[in-house]
Amino acid sequence: MKTYKEITENRKYQDKLICDICKKESNGKYLGDWETENPDSYYDWQHDITIKHYYSYHYPYDGGGEGYDLEVDLCPDCFSQVLDFIKSKGAEVKYVHSEC
């Protein structure tokens, strides 16, 4: 005989996307749809703009380790400003082709 136990799962899901710089909330049908201040903005098509940094360290004696993630979510207007800042410091910023 099979018996069953009812399980309640808790799941996290994203219900908002807020720019970490200007605190503007995305709008539209999809999370990450942004109204930009610049109607000719190249970044209007962007849905989620996240700058990520990850670092980890390993324990040589047991082969394990752990790491940390840093994520910054940006609207297209703030992302454009961040790119302008990076370029002003002399960095060459360019997109490279990738397959989706």
- Predicted local distance difference test score (pLDDT) of residue 40: 56
Please state the pTM of the whole predicted model: 0.64
Q: Do 34 and 26 meet the contact criterion of CB atoms below 8 Å apart?
A: yes
- Predicted local distance difference test score (pLDDT) of residue 98: 82
Q: What one-character-per-residue DSSP string does 41-54 give?
A: -GGGG-S-EEEEEE
- Predicted local distance difference test score (pLDDT) of residue 28: 59
In this prediction, residues 42-59 reach a mean pLDDT of: 72
Residue 38 has pLDDT above 60, yes or no: no
Residue 29: DSSP 8-state = S
Interatomic CA distance for residues 61 and 35, integer angstroms = 51
pLDDT tens-digit profile of 54-90?
888 777 777 777 889 999 988 888 888 999 999 999 9
Does residue 98 or residue 13 have the better pLDDT?
98
- Predicted local distance difference test score (pLDDT) of residue 84: 93
- Predicted local distance difference test score (pLDDT) of residue 81: 92
